[in-house]
Structure 1
Amino acid sequence: MERGLLATNAVDPVARLDIALALLAEGLGRPAWARVLATDSSVERREKLAACPNLPPDVREILAGDAEVQVVAELALWTTADMAARLAEHPHAEVRSAVAANEATPPEVLAALLSCERLPPARRCLVCDREETPFIHDPQCPRLDCELRPGASCAGSHESTTHEMHLKAVQNPATPPAAVIGFADHPSMLLRWQLAERPDLPPAIYTRLATSPEPGVRAALAANPAIDDNLIRVLSTDIGHDVKRSLAQNPNVPLDVLAQLAATTKVGSTLLPRIAAASIAEVWELAVSPTPALRMLLGERRDLPPEIRDALAADPGAKVAKSIAPHSGLSEAQLRAMVDLHGVRVVAAVAKNPDATSALLEDLTRHRPPVQKALREVARHRNATAAALLNCLPDRQARPIAASHPHLPPKVIVELLTDDDWQVLEAASANPSLPPAKMSELVTRCA
């Protein structure tokens, strides 16, 4: 079906309901099929139908009046703007919660779901459908047939479902900013966390969220590209490490702030968005930064001018050299100089260099003390020789990688077919350098 090999005229919707439903889910079915499925006895099928695109209006009407709330809620999650607006007044809170997540829901309806104005109060939720209120569901509920969500509660106002509805509405990009700003001081950490991720709020709201006591909220705020320079500088002094790490990922963090973060926070060996977006003038500025961590972050870029690449390759900082070592264009002499200067700290990164020569790779496998990660890199390197691969085989993690390398001698590949490690055996069996006779023997044995 996904390959377009099943024709719609070959399907009898009555006899092959599941196939008809699958085609409708892909937008390929016929309206008549949807009408059959809308009154099907299977709740599961009706629920899946409710998520299908482009349903005929009469089918949406049938599903909107379904006796099973999960069917109506699924429709509310995916339906059109006009139907979503109607379902926002549904007496069941679970349906309203689904409406809040639907990005087709009109903005004014989403605002009403948050304010509870202009809408009649919900009369039921999943909790009071099943339990006598007030009720709080035990997260460790021992009942095997219980379907309530952990922590679900209702004291007459459908509290847990209302909270979920608010969360979904705050996350929904169609919800107007004016409708969500009132949650900046809400006692719910989850609501403030979601609010901190929105890119369309007034600066004053972001400033209030920066005072949240939970590091998770402040970290979400720190990563938000919409916060201004003043707030970025405030958050750069936050004592939470997660906050600083998130701030380093912000694409608009000023370079001087990033330098401060790089010097005091472990941001990892990754290409940060601000480094990736740096102009050529900023790249030259970063290359001569007195902060080694900032030069290291620059080394993660793979489009550096040769002059800067070569300067970083000779950097006295091992972390800087490690970040630049995998760059293409470095000579064998430059790579060997890194190993001579920094030793085990850069051996694996040098082994990852796509231009590393066969001779260099062999020498790296004989490095003392040995570097296990380097053996794994050599084992997958296109320039690895038979001698280098043989040196990798004793390492448990490098062994299955080396077993698949086409430069491994055929005799050794055959020997690996009896290895105790199934990963090694599997890799050797698929090695293109396995002798044809052995390949035929394996095929015959598996037939």
Structure 2
Amino acid sequence: MSHPLRGLARNPALPPSALLRLAGDDRVSRWDLTARASWTDAAFDTLAAHPDPEVRESLAQSPGATGDQRARLVGDLNIRVLQAVLEGPPSRWAGPLPDWVYRRLAGHPEPLVRDLLVYLPGTPRDIVALLARDQHPGIADAARALLDRKPYEPPSLGRDQAVRFASGGSDWDRERAAADPALPSEWVAALAADPSPRVRLAVSTRPGLTEAQRAAIDYPADAAPPLEWVLAAGPAELDRCARSAHPALRRGAACHPDLPADLLAALTADPDPVVRALLCAHQAHAPGELVLQTYLATGDDDLLRHPAFPRTDLARLADDPAPEARALVMLDPATPPAVIEQLSHDPSGPVRSAAAADARLPQARLLALLESPATAEAAAANPALPPRVISRLLADLGVR
């Protein structure tokens, strides 16, 4: 439920001492305390010293904290806080931790922390190599296995079991067999005409098939997921996948960690919206206009943190028929205050709230929105809110 205290908790103009008082107020959740878009060092350090480890855990995963700020919690004595530091914010585009954090935690006395480092996707390879010599046998073995991992090899049932599964009455068994690399070619051909759409889809995504062979299978294109073997494809195979008529192959290519610029450009114009959405979700160099249009089509808030998301020329959206587009106008630093004021009267509540939180909003209008229950929380988060008003709000709301 909307409440001005939640907005104050996100307000960068709130004094750190007041932030600390809000941290003890039951009307403000830990997420409210840590959901701000950016942190001053003073405010971050205030909550980093909070006695409640759940507050520090939430702070470690704040979407607005930089990697350097989150690293300040690396000396925390609580294991869950350290785990939150390593896992980071729930955003693909969060700033990375400094390398020294991994090196320091690789020598942590608690085996659970060192074990977590082994399996964390962001752990640098030289740290994994260090953990391969860990005194704990399980940690060392896991690190060595990771270092010795070969190129992707699909799991196999073996020929005999794959045939048993292929001839069974269970759709799940036949689907499993259809993707198995050990399945004999005659069974692959048989399952390509299976009555189950799931089975036919699994056959159609086998590596090694020609485009003609895939096209001959009646598979459900809308259900096609990205494929692990495509994610591990080398340059030549990746090129074939990105240019395939099969959407599952192109969707996998869009997620590939080493997608080259020419294939990125080709997939940017892909007719499949899922391919374009995956491209934006996984590729830092996706075109800004594509990221913007994908956000408007999907509402995926994480795209607002995408490094390519455009922050200029958004004022052109002030008269867009979609409220989701009009709400983006406030992200443009060049938007005139008059346009912000105009949008503060918008018929859409989310648009009015976005305008209410903007520091360019004329003060008289800001104070008016602070008095309206529908926009009070957003207005309370406005960094241009005068200190006297912040103090009055805290007193009126009983924050001691």
**Which has more radius of gyration?**
1
TM-score by length of 1: 0.39
For CA contacts below 8 A with separation 6 or more, give which structure has more relative contact order: 2
User: Taking structure 2 as the reference length, what is the TM-score of the superposition?
Assistant: 0.43
